[in-house]
């Protein structure tokens, strides 16, 4: 059976995420601006890049290479179309992070926002070990209402199958799993969302 993310239309995803009642697209864009600029790196990789939200903050002066990784080939084609100005810097890779981590190249920085929820700590750790970054910057969603982890919206049913792959994230469990593979926490900040949820950014450095 296909991964649910291969079937969700990008327009449904982005329209849902940008609603005033959700505002995750806007919040993530602001976070990604900092993620791209906070560390002295030459190469970066965005895992679960979707439509490329945040790529406008890539500085060609600072970054020589940015990899965009997603399981949905259609998303990646949209990213390439939207960010033609990053030609020569941006490279999109269609990879199933659970089944194909060996295909991942190396990078100095990994950005993984709202991704670990859908692959789990172990698969994420395997991907990080293969990439070997010095820095890892993650965003996980903290839910106040466990029964409704996808915010209510007109696009809600586009995400019906995500229950098959979604795991509830725990801040301490993520930190512990990263410590096991040699990464120490260096940042932990929370961004509240309008619907009672929050985006938790947790960054790590290779020990």
**Domain map (residue ranges) of the chain:** 4-206
Q: Is the pLDDT of residue 3 over 90?
A: no
Which residue in the block uniquely carries the two structure tokens 């806007």?
Answer: 26
How many Å apart are CA 205 and CA 4, to the nearest integer?
Answer: 31
Percent of residues, the chain, with pLDDT higher than 70? 89
State the sign of the Cα–Cα–Cα–Cα dihedral 157, 96, 125, 33. Answer: negative
Q: Is the pLDDT of residue 160 over 90?
A: no
Q: Given this model, what pLDDT does residue 19 score?
A: 78
Total residues belonging to the chain:
207
What integer best gives the mean pLDDT of the chain? 89
118 and 171 Cβ atoms separated by less than 8 Å: no
Q: Given this model, what pLDDT does residue 159 score?
A: 67
What fold, for 4-206? Rossmann fold (3.40.50)
Q: Given this model, what pLDDT does residue 149 score?
A: 45
pTM of this prediction?
0.91
Angle at 85 between CA 100 and CA 77, to 5 degrees: 40
Q: Is the pLDDT of residue 53 over 70?
A: yes
The token pair at 129 is 């070990």
> Cα–chain-centroid distance for residue 162?
16
At 174, is the pLDDT very low, low, confident or very high (cuts 50, 70, 90)?
Answer: very high
Cα distance from N-terminal residue to C-terminal residue, the chain? 38
63 and 42 Cβ atoms separated by less than 8 Å: yes
How many Å apart are CA 7 and CA 62, to the nearest integer?
Answer: 35
3-state helix, strand, coil in the chain (%, to 5): 40, 25, 40
């Amino acid at each position: 059976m296909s991964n649910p993310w291969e079937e969700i239309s990008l327009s449904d995803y982005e329209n849902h995420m940008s609603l005033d009642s959700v505002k995750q697209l806007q919040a993530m864009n602001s976070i990604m601006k900092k993620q791209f600029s906070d560390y002295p790196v030459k190469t970066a990789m965005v895992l679960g890049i979707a439509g490329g939200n945040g790529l406008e903050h890539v500085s060609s002066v600072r970054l020589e290479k940015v990899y965009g990784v997603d399981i949905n080939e259609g998303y990646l084609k949209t990213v390439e179309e939207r960010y033609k100005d990053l030609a020569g810097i941006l490279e999109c890779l269609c990879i199933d992070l659970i089944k194909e981590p060996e295909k991942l190249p190396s990078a100095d920085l990994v950005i993984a926002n709202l991704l670990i929820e859908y692959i789990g700590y172990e698969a994420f750790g395997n991907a990080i070990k293969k990439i070997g970054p010095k820095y890892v910057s993650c965003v996980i969603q903290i839910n106040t209402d466990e029964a409704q982890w996808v915010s209510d919206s007109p696009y809600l049913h586009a995400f019906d199958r995500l229950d098959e792959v979604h795991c509830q994230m725990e801040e301490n469990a993520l930190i512990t799993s990263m410590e096991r593979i040699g990464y120490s926490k260096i940042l932990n900040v929370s961004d509240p969302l309008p619907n009672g949820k929050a985006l938790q950014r947790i960054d790590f450095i290779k020990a």
